[in-house]
Amino acid sequence: THASLRLQLGGEEFFPAFIQAVQEARRQVDIQLYIFDNDDYAVGLAQLLRQRSMEGVRVRILMDESASLAAATAVPDSPMPADFSPPDDMVNYLRRGSEIGVRCMPMSGLAASHTKIITVDSERAWLGGMNFGREYRYDWHDLMIEVRGPRRRGGRAFERSPERLPS
């Protein structure tokens, strides 16, 4: 079986495809990213992931601790709804009332992980520059590459990590 590649420029192309894949996931969603922000758009993604984890889909998230905390204090360029109140701690928000396995990669020295890899059911994957947050959906134009087809190798970041996430 051959894989196919599709370039997705900006949040308007990437996020609808990602959301659809999460909604259709049968077994697992693994996400490794630099920033999982706490703005209204990121919270909406978190709610979807929490829901899917409670429906029996294994959801695991690796994110950079320092970058996500810094992003939580930044004000996005596009305005959020006036009545939105962000969670203080996105890690606890993701875990609360869900079965999501979340682990922050601590910053050791001056090293940080800027990696963004998403896999859904080992059949769809995305690689590129997109983090989760309002500015990535509406303001920035990062590139993601969607790969479709069965995974043969790679994607083992969760298993290789020193602190394994719950299965």
pLDDT in tens, the chain (167 residues): 688 999 999 999 999 999 999 999 999 999 999 899 999 999 999 999 999 999 999 999 998 866 666 666 677 677 788 899 889 889 999 999 999 999 887 665 566 667 799 999 989 999 999 999 999 999 888 999 999 987 655 455 555 554 444 44
The pTM (predicted TM-score) of the whole model is: 0.85
DSSP 111: B
Q: Sign (positive/negative) of CA torsion 156, 164, 127, 106?
A: negative
Element (H, E) at 92: helix 90-95
Please enumerate in sequence order all residues whose Cβ is within 8 A of that of 60, keeping only pairs 6 or more positions apart, or say none: 28, 29, 30, 31, 100, 101, 102, 158, 165
Contact between 62 and 36 under an 8 Å Cβ cutoff? The reply is no
